[in-house]
Each structure stands twice: as structure tokens, then as C-alpha cells.
């Protein structure tokens, strides 16, 4: 298969996977973000990169949003929402953060392959992305290595959440661009 053929297969995998996400749970996430005082997002590895992209867009739509672990991240409070993207739902550092967020009383959201995981069981809102986990190898869900399908689906899902939030608030790209970095 040539490179563009692989790209076509990746796109087909993404479409199949995204279409299996529960719309009702996704709407609960948008509502939770709308009600929250502050939004905190966490993820490890490539999922962490997707979290940073999501937080950046939330800032562009005017939300008070943060990446957990950055030096400028404030304290989490009960009126806040904590969103964690973890394919396995078992990453120890993320599970510890999720437990802490739950004990504080924040709304906890798990975006994961495994809603019955440690992180999933702690969540108030569970978004299942039925992708291939890192160690599944030839599961038939993806031609891609490791957690690539989950990570890509995570970014697309996060971008769809932003679009739904924009629609709900009557926002457009012009308004968002006014919040874009301009010190370059």
C-alpha cells in the first residue's frame, strides 16, 4: 500500500471509531464544561498532547481552562470539571489525579477505551472511544501501531466538543481569533 492508501485507511478507521461514541455522554460533557467554573484536562504521552490542543481551543472560546501539571495551573475546586484522556484508564499517575479530583468534589470525566477501568469507575461522565489499546497489537480495529487510533480519535472528539460549545454559545472563528496569541 502506498502512503496515501495508508492515509485513506486511517481516515476510515477514524470514521468507524468516532461513529461509535455515545452522543448522550458527549452532550453531558459539553453541558459539564458549560457549567464549570474552571476546566482541567490531563493525559499522558500523546494523549497529553491532545489534551494541550483541547485546552488551547477552550481558551480560544473564552473558557478558563488548564493542563494539569503546568506551573501556572491553579487549584481544582468543587465547581470545576476534570477531564482525563487515557486509553487504558489505568495509568497510575492519571488514576491518582482522578482520585484526588473526585475527593475534592469536581465533576470527573473519563475519555477512554476502557470505561470499566480504574479511571472510568471514578468518572461521573464516561466517554468510550472504542479504539485499539496500546498492547492489543493485531486486534483488527486498526492497522496503526499502539494507541494511535485512540489518540487521533481523542483529538477529533475534543475538536467536535469545541464545535458543539461554539454552536451552543453562538461563537465563530473570528471571535476565537481575537484570543489567539499575538506576541510572535
Residue 112's closest CA among 136, 133, 82, 142?
133
Terminal Cα distance for the chain, rounded: 41
No. of helices (H) and no. of strands (E), the chain: 7, 5
> What CA–CA distance (Å, rounded) separates 67 from 47?
12
- Give 3-state DSSP helix, strand, coil % of the chain, rounded to 5: 50, 10, 35
Q: At a CB cut-off of 8 Å and minimum separation 6, what does 131 contact?
A: 17, 87, 113, 141, 142, 147, 149, 150, 153
3-state secondary structure 52-78: HHHHHHHHHCCCCEEECCCCCCCCCCC
> What's the grid cell of residue 17?
471509531
151 is annotated as an active-site residue: yes
Selected catalytic residue, list 13, 70, 128, 151: 151
Residues classed as catalytic: 151
Amino acid at each position: 500500500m502506498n502512503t496515501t492508501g495508508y492515509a485513506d485507511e486511517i481516515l476510515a478507521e477514524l470514521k468507524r471509531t468516532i461513529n461509535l461514541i455515545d452522543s448522550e455522554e458527549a452532550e453531558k460533557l459539553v453541558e459539564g464544561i458549560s457549567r464549570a467554573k474552571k476546566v482541567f484536562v490531563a493525559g499522558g504521552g500523546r494523549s497529553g498532547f491532545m489534551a494541550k490542543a483541547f485546552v488551547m481551543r477552550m481558551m480560544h472560546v473564552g473558557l478558563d481552562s488548564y493542563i494539569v501539571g503546568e506551573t501556572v495551573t491553579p487549584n481544582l475546586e468543587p465547581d470545576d470539571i476534570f477531564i482525563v484522556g487515557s486509553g487504558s484508564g489505568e495509568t497510575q499517575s492519571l488514576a491518582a489525579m482522578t482520585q484526588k479530583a473526585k475527593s475534592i468534589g469536581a465533576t470527573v470525566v473519563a475519555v477512554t477505551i476502557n470505561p470499566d477501568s480504574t479511571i472510568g469507575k471514578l468518572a461521573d461522565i464516561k466517554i468510550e472511544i472504542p479504539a485499539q489499546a496500546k498492547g492489543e497489537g493485531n486486534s483488527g480495529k486498526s492497522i496503526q501501531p499502539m494507541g494511535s487510533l485512540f489518540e487521533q480519535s481523542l483529538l477529533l472528539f475534543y475538536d467536535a466538543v469545541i464545535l458543539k460549545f461554539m454552536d451552543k454559545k453562538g461563537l465563530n472563528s473570528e471571535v476565537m481569533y481575537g484570543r489567539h496569541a499575538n506576541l510572535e
